[in-house]
Amino acid sequence: MKDNLYTRLYLWLVGHRRGVLAVTVLVMAGAGWFSSRIDLQEDILDMLPRHDRQVDEYRYALKKFRQIDRVYLDIGIKADDPETLARAGDEVFVRFSTNRNFGRITYHIEAGGQGKVVEFLTGALPNLFTEADARALEIKLDPGEVRAYLTVMRRKLAGPEGMVLKDVVAADPVGLSALVVNKVLPLQTGFGDAQIVDGRITSGDGRHVLMMAEPKFSSSDSKASASLVREMERVVADVAKKFPGVHVAITGGHRMAVDNSSIIRVDATRCIAIGTAGMIVLCFVSYRRRWLAPMSFLPSLFGTLMAGVVLMLWQKHLSAIATGFASIAVGITVDYAIHIIYHLDNAGSADHRTIGQHLSRLVFPICIGVITTIAAFLVMMTSPMHGYQQLGLLGAIGVVFSAVFALIILPLLIPVVKKPGQPPLWLTTWWEKYFCWESQIRLWLALFVVMLTLAMAMGLKRLRFEGDIAKLNGITESTRKDDALIQNTWGSALGMTMVVVRGNTQEEALVQNDRAFEALSRDTNVASAFSLSSVCPSPDIQRANFKRWREFWTAERRAGVCETLERITRELGFRPDAFTKFWQGVDGEISLITVEMFQGTPLEKAVTERAALGTNDSAISTLVKLKNRDGAAKLRETLPDAIVLDSKGLADHIAGLAKVGLKRFALWTGVFVAALLFLTLASVELVLMTLLPLAFGLLWTFGLMGWLGLPIDLMNSIFVIFVIGVGEDYAVFLVTSKLDEWRGRTGMTAVNSASVLISALTTIFGFGVMVIANHPVLFSMGVTVLIGMGFAFVATLIIVPISMDLLLFKTPPCGAPRWWHPLGTLWVLIHLGGSQVFLYYVVRPVLKIVSSKTSDDKLRRATRWFARGVLKGMPFGKLEFDLKQEQFAKPCIVISNHQSAVDVMLAVGFPGDVRQTAKKRVFDAPMLGVGCKILGHVMVEPNDPAKTLQRCRDTLASGASVHFYPEGTRSKDGFMDRFHRGAFELAVELQQEILPIVICDSNTAMPRDAYWFEPFHCTVRALPRVTPQSFDYSLGVVALMRHCETLVRDGLQKESDKVNTPPIVRRKINRLYRYQGKYVEEFVRWKMKLDPVFLALDEVVPRRAHVLDLGCGYGMATHWLATFTDTRTFWGVDYDENKIRVAQRSAPANPRIKFTHGDVLTCEYPPCDAVLLLDVLHYWTAEKQLAILIKARQALHPGGRLVLRDGARSETVAHSKIHRWEEFATRTGMNRTKEGLHFQTQAELEGLLQGAGFARWEIKPGAGNDSNLMLVAWV
């Protein structure tokens, strides 16, 4: 007998063990060297999704305006000591100025610069002259206003600042600069009430000085950023030591990036160490051979190294986010090794072939787990976040290579046990006890599931989504405090909404900025807008302003102002030519203002923060204060060409992305996993059983997160991928374990559950250990997945055994349902429940009022009509109800065979006043009992047949008929059981006529003990009445009973022959092989459909016979013949253990059928009436074929027959097809042979029959395809 493919591979590997292990070591060494070249890179913006407009705009703004690449320093002091504060700030400035990492530092603003800005502001008015400015200037030119202004300035000129103000007054004798100052003030927003003190940007309370530095490299450069942060921290420490009471706070993207990467690195190292230690301890206490515990991690190591190679070839750098989840990969991939090691340690086999066969049973569930986990990781690669894309790739590659190592290499490292036959591991024994206990308390477990589900469903209302990305930033407490101090001291631009416009050139950007500012000015929700448009409008606006300026200065106004200035000049003592510069400015030509003109002035910082110029891409920002922050979305609609950034709106948007991402991840992971499960399990029902606990686990997870106040954010929203993709593995092992038991294999539920428990705990360790992480992303993921995986495992333990036992309900002939079969039950429940409520609680009270005397009769007629409608209206059934009302006109005793619970509904529908006899438990049932009592059915009194018979007499005396099931119980296989006396004693006593009813095939509609309905073709026929005139009742009760039994049995056989068409028979047989594996199911289905041998079998095999099915395979021929009559018995034999196992599971409790494992050539044949040799003779040589035929002839009774079907060898295409198929089937293990293929010609077959001693034979035409030939030979 050939071993399966995996066993053969394992035995080959054992034979080449040293070479295989040597190659493996070399591969791991090379992969380790290659993986070590990967760079660790962390960009804070990696935590944001890509390809989302709003987030991309946010990322663009941060990078374009270099906000994330700017370092902010606050030099603060506790006491009011400006001198110490100034010296400390200067010390920091000097230290930073000598650092080559910084490109520009903004700290000290010289007094000359202040004069320069005053001069600039005065000369810029013509370019900025708006209509509002014209109205304001007209007021300022009033002689009284001019006199007041110059009087003040004359007094200041006499003071210390006179030298500075001299040029200011000369250029502006009327206070023009005040108009421009109002335009400049908004540029200072975002920095609180800052002021310039001694050239330093100082806070309003005078205790803080601001310094801004721009490094030469991006914050995403982890190595350079780490070095820079260390240098800055040394400066901070030195300054704090040199100047007691001074504290220097630092914030910015570089420090946060370093914090993120360092925290993740530390967390990853700690989580991996603790998680791995916990896993080793768990394996250590679970295995018999403790030293195997560390070996559980070899597949994970191998998979990680190979994933590193792929990543190195792909991108050459690794995101720190992906690194932080390394413990997850270990917790997942270690599962495959645990299954292998635990099963080998538990089995304790000393034979390599036995080990290979044992491990081969793990290949299927492990492979299912591998491909579904890979699918989950591939869904993760669709995440818009780069870190998760890398994690998805690493996870998928790691899972593949870990599983390959676990299945192929790891078994070679585990030596066979020295003492075979050891008891199961303690964990296996514990699980055996658990399942015994679980089967006894399932009602309580179901109640627990219901109550927990209701409680968690209420928590769903509390579940919230978090969109604040700042909460995902992993920074140290000191960084957090520094950032908060700077934000609180200098104001927070993030507290406002930012509007960014873009253009290919500076001019285009300024035009767009003007349009945006105009729209903002009209928006009623805008409280204030701080735009660059006030000091640097577009060239066209500047030209328009200049034109307005020229038009303002008419000849009449110039003369009036000139006269006023001359008069006041004389009065205040100014020189006559003191204001010549002013008139030069009034008459001067336009010089357009550009962003570059602000360089070198105190306004440079404020302007450059709002204007980011570049080649073919210039951007300008405006800060907007909204009255209602919820109006940011509407503002975005108002400015479709602008970028609108609002921290609250962004948080809401990212929360929405998390919600959408959660749905998307759950949907696609569920779809892919379900699709892959269907491809592997090939059953909708098994897929549902596998995914059902995951659905409950997710529901419970969401509910508990709601109750605990744990939000779902952009990062932990992927936890559904792990719960579905990895949690499904637990269900797969339990489902396949139940399937193995259903299919007759050695039970492995306990040992599988033990290995699943270890795997689940290691996975939970891998995830759950992240709850000790400091980084909020890792912590958030750890908590959510810990809850999710824990609930998924608990749901699997409770729900899978219950649901699988409901699916694999009972062994054939009851069998197991398909997913749509319970829909029939639902139909019946709705119909029966609805009709009973309507009839008994609506119609009956009305009838009692309207016609009280005939109300019960009318109610019975309505009930009969509704009862027939239940089955006639069944979506997938056919009912032939061939009964007439005339047949029930005269009261009688009605008898019928009993095949199914459906018979009760059929009997209620009999077209006459027929009262059924029913057991007391039926009367006690909540629904049926009410109907039985109202309709006047007869209750069978337990242990008191006399009382029951008296009730029947009373019913007959009232003019109604009484219905009996003489068999006393439902048939097990659809054929009749022996009748009992009760009904016939009553008939003899009362000389009552008997109406026999034949119910055929109702057991197909609802098999005995089943809770579902299946497709059916049911017939109900009435036979002629048995009367004292047609049968002599004086012969006694037994004679009457046997006579009626024969009538009904013969009638049932006739009806069965009509109903059992080939499609119906195929359907009946197919159901016996449900869930025996997709290959078996499809083989049985198509074999019976395409092979004409089955159509001929019932004709060539006697109806009353003991049949030997030699080489029975799956037993299809036996079941085909057994379906037609119960007068055939069978003994089948086959040497293929798998096929005979399936055959035995198809008829485990059928007393007429026995399947035995054995060799047709050597086993003893019992005496029989017919022998089947269908498509098996060619597996032996001609000599052995003759020996088999002789044994068959000797086993046959006189007159017995042999039915031989085999391929007749010939040089035809038809036989070539048969021969090629058999070669394929034997090579792949579908059919098994020890001696090859030995087809005979037709003449040689006939010669073998003659040599075996058969008296005669004939060819049955049409019983085979191609060269297959059927010969029927008689003894």
List, in order of start, the domains of the chain with CATH numbers.
867-1059 (no CATH), 1062-1274 (3.40.50.150)
% the chain with pLDDT above 90? 38
Helix (H) or strand (E) holding 721: helix 719-725
Q: Which of 378-387, 465-474, 490-499, 749-758 has the lowest mean pLDDT?
A: 490-499
At residue 67, the pLDDT reads 64
The whole-angstrom distance between residue 950's C-alpha and the CA centroid of its chain comes to 63
Query: For residue 470, what pLDDT band results from cuts at 50, 70 and 90?
Result: low
Unique residue bearing structure tokens 């292990």: 21
Q: DSSP class of residue 900?
A: S
Structure tokens at 355: 């080990």
State the amino acid at position 1056 in one-letter form: S
Cα–Cα distance list, 354 to 3, 21, 361 (Å) = 10, 22, 11
Average pLDDT, the chain: 86
At residue 1059, the pLDDT reads 95
State the amino acid at position 973 in one-letter form: D
Cross-strand partners of 1107: 1130, 1170
Instruction: List, for residues 196-217, the tens digit of each pLDDT value.
Output: 777 788 887 888 998 888 888 8
**Cα–Cα distance for residue pair 621/612, rounded to 1 Å:** 8
The whole-angstrom distance between residue 315's C-alpha and the CA centroid of its chain comes to 28
% the chain with pLDDT above 70? 92
Q: At what angle do helices 162-171 and 143-157 cross, to 10 degrees?
A: 160
Is pTM, for the whole model, over 0.95?
no
Q: DSSP class of residue 582?
A: H
Q: DSSP class of residue 712?
A: B
Find, among 1130, 1012, 1134, 1142, the residue nearest to 1084 by Cα. Answer: 1142
* Alpha helices (H) in 65-176, listed in sequence order: 82-97, 111-123, 125-128, 131-140, 143-157, 162-171
Cross-strand partners of 1270: 1205, 1260
> For residue 1000, which phi and psi values (nearest 5 degrees)?
-115, 130
At residue 331, the pLDDT reads 66
At residue 162, the pLDDT reads 62
Unique residue bearing structure tokens 């609930």: 791
State the amino acid at position 466 in one-letter form: E
Instruction: List, for residues 915-930, the tens digit of each pLDDT value.
Output: 999 888 888 877 778 8
Cα–Cα distance list, 511 to 457, 485, 514, 533, 876 (Å) = 55, 37, 5, 9, 72
Instruction: List, for residues 361-412, the tens digit of each pLDDT value.
Output: 899 899 988 888 888 888 878 777 766 777 788 888 888 999 999 999 999 9
Query: For residue 422, what pLDDT band results from cuts at 50, 70 and 90?
Result: confident
Please tell me which residue, 1016 or 488, carries the higher pLDDT value.
1016
Instruction: List, for residues 749-780, the tens digit of each pLDDT value.
Output: 899 899 989 888 887 777 778 888 887 877 88
Structure tokens at 810: 């009972």
Cβ neighbours around 509 below 10 Å, total: 25
**Cα–Cα distance for residue pair 770/776, rounded to 1 Å:** 10
Please tell me which residue, 1273 or 524, carries the higher pLDDT value.
1273
Which three-class secondary structure string do you get for 1172-1223? Answer: EEECCHHHCCHHHHHHHHHHHHHHEEEEEEEEEEEEECCCCHHHHHHHHHHH
Task: Say if residue 894's pLDDT is above 50.
Answer: yes
**Cα–Cα distance for residue pair 750/690, rounded to 1 Å:** 18
Query: For residue 1169, what pLDDT band results from cuts at 50, 70 and 90?
Result: very high
Query: For residue 493, what pLDDT band results from cuts at 50, 70 and 90?
Result: very low
Coil, helix or strand at residue 207: coil
The whole-angstrom distance between residue 930's C-alpha and the CA centroid of its chain comes to 46
**Cα–Cα distance for residue pair 1167/1151, rounded to 1 Å:** 17
At residue 528, the pLDDT reads 79
Instruction: List, for residues 1035-1072, the tens digit of each pLDDT value.
Output: 999 999 999 999 999 999 999 999 999 999 999 999 99
Instruction: List, for residues 39-77, the tens digit of each pLDDT value.
Output: 655 555 555 666 777 777 777 777 777 666 778 899 999
Cβ 223 vs Cβ 39: under 8 Å: no
Unique residue bearing structure tokens 């009742």: 1033
Cross-strand partners of 1268: 1207
Query: For residue 494, what pLDDT band results from cuts at 50, 70 and 90?
Result: very low
Please tell me which residue, 603 or 1030, carries the higher pLDDT value.
1030
Kindly state the average pLDDT of the residues 163-176: 74
The answer to whether the peptide bond before residue 966 is cis (omega within 30 degrees of 0) is no
Helix (H) or strand (E) holding 939: strand 938-940
Task: Say if residue 1195's pLDDT is above 60.
Answer: yes
Q: Which of 117-121, 345-349, 1051-1055, 1138-1142 has the lowest mean pLDDT?
A: 117-121
